[in-house]
């Protein structure tokens, strides 16, 4: 059945870091790739520009990858699309004038929530949220089970990962980072690890664990500032590297044997890379993030030594990381972790992606 294209207005307010902009930009691109008309309204285009270097952060209007990108304040004087979908990402509060104008225009209002593996998400996904202005509003939750909205994934992503694996890793890293080949002259046995974490991560424990391994390690650290505690020691070589554009972040993950990731978007992308990962959950008040972590560990069903390491990483426990990381990297634990990573990726990839689910949901409710 051929469906007419829908108009989407996607609102993104950057709270901190890159995740809000990162998730919204991926969703906007996916909806556009599915043939929909998409406007992305963002309050801090400069943050998006870090992920998307082609973006002119001063422009009043520009179209990239089929998505019209606009500064948030312009929405205050813009009419919502007649019969269109308004996505309020992460409860970001729509501009009041825009929200008032939605009534009577046949709009559908979607509250896109943060990703969580907690069981209650299944009960709340797709629930209506009655509004005073009469506009139908629904909660839409990303998630890891068929009873949720799923995870963002481009249809060719896994094929791209497979194709990259067939190419020489040193050459891929060189092409990706622009750093000299010599930095990536890897011997066959070398462990390549990506480190993308928050400032409070237990890096002293990481340093001790990696420097003490028999196997040589190349630790890639993207970003502007290298944490002082990290240094070349024993078989450990640190490679500070530039932050890569988001469009190439998957390639970076695909070059690594183990990915330390954080927040929301890099977690999902590391799952699709199919290699072992250590997730640092975004801190929340009242330690709510630790419930989120446990729920995710339950769902992912990692081998016990991997789960122990991930817990230690999130407790900022240097000593525990220093002992848990070498244990998780030793055979047979390491092979078990790699096998489970591929299996979980395959299981997740059997489901439609979040953008496809969202589009179907909107067609049903408009």
Judged by CB under 6 A, which of 32, 51, 151, 206 binds ligand TRH? 51
Judged by CB under 6 A, which of 3, 5, 15, 127 binds ligand TRH? 15
Of 5 and 15, nearer to ligand TRH (C-beta) is 15
Of 99 and 246, nearer to ligand TRH (C-beta) is 246
Of 53 and 128, nearer to ligand TRH (C-beta) is 53
Q: What is the DSSP string of 247-314?
A: GGHHHHHHT-SEEEEETTHHHHHHHHHTS-EEEEPPP-GGGHHHHHHHHHHHHHT--HHHHHHHHHHH
Query: Which residue among the candidates 9, 113, 250, 264 is catalytic per the annotation?
Result: 264
Of 103 and 124, nearer to ligand TRH (C-beta) is 124
* Binding window for ligand TRH (CB under 6 A); candidates: 134-142, 256-264, 285-293, 301-309: 256-264
> Taking CB under 6 A as the rule, does residue 254 contact ligand TRH?
no
> Taking CB under 6 A as the rule, does residue 282 contact ligand TRH?
yes
**Can you give the length of the chain in residues?**
366
The answer to whether 120 and 41 have CB atoms below 8 angstroms apart is: no
> Taking CB under 6 A as the rule, does residue 200 contact ligand TRH?
no
> Taking CB under 6 A as the rule, does residue 214 contact ligand TRH?
no
The first and second tokens of residue 122, run together, are 């299944």
User: Residue of minimal CB distance from ligand TRH?
Assistant: 19
294 is annotated as an active-site residue: no
20 is annotated as an active-site residue: yes
Of 44 and 311, nearer to ligand TRH (C-beta) is 44
Helix residue spans in 6-127 (DSSP H): 19-33, 45-51, 96-102, 120-124
Using DSSP's 3-state secondary structure scheme, residue 318 falls into: helix
Report the C-alpha gap between 276 and 225 in whole angstroms: 25
> Taking CB under 6 A as the rule, does residue 246 contact ligand TRH?
yes
Report the C-alpha gap between 80 and 102 in whole angstroms: 6
The answer to whether 137 and 102 have CB atoms below 8 angstroms apart is: no
Parallel, antiparallel, or unpaired: how do β-strands 67-71 and 37-42 relate?
A: parallel
Residues with active-site annotation: 20, 264
Point out which residues bind ligand TRH (CB under 6 A). 15-20, 22, 51, 114, 196, 222, 243-244, 246, 249, 262-266, 282
């Amino acid at each position: 059945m051929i469906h007419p294209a829908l108009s989407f207005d996607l609102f993104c307010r950057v709270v901190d870091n890159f995740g809000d902009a990162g998730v919204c930009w991926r969703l906007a691109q996916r909806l556009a790739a599915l043939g929909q008309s998409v406007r992305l309204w963002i309050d801090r285009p400069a943050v998006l520009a870090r992920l998307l270097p082609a973006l002119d952060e001063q422009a009043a209007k520009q179209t990239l990858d089929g998505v019209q990108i606009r500064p948030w304040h312009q929405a205050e004087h813009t009419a919502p699309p007649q019969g269109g979908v308004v996505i309020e990402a992460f409860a970001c509060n729509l501009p009041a004038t825009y929200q008032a104008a939605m009534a009577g225009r046949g709009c559908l209002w979607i509250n896109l929530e943060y990703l969580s593996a907690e069981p209650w998400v299944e009960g709340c996904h797709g629930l209506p949220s009655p509004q005073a202005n009469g506009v139908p509003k629904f909660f839409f939750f990303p998630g890891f089970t068929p009873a949720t909205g799923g995870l963002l994934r481009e249809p060719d992503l896994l094929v791209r990962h497979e194709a990259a694996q067939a190419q020489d890793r040193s050459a891929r890293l060189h092409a990706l980072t622009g750093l000299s080949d010599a930095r990536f002259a890897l011997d066959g046995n070398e462990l390549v690890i990506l480190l993308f974490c928050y400032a409070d991560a237990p890096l002293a424990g990481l340093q001790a664990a990696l420097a003490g391994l028999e196997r040589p390690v190349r630790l890639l650290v993207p970003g502007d500032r290298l944490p002082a505690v990290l240094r070349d020691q024993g078989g450990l070589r640190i490679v500070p590297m530039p932050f890569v554009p988001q469009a190439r972040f998957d390639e970076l993950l695909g070059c690594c044997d183990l990915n330390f990731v954080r927040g929301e978007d890099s977690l999902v992308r590391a799952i699709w890379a199919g290699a072992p990962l250590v997730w640092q959950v975004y801190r929340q008040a009242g330690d709510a993030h630790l419930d989120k972590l446990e729920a995710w560990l339950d769902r992912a069903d990692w081998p016990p030594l991997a789960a122990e390491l991930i817990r230690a990483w999130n407790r900022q426990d240097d000593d525990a990381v220093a002992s848990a990381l070498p244990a998780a990297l030793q055979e047979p634990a390491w092979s078990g972790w790699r096998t489970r990573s591929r299996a979980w990726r395959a299981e997740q990839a059997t489901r439609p992606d979040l953008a496809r689910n969202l589009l179907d949901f909107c067609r049903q409710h408009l």
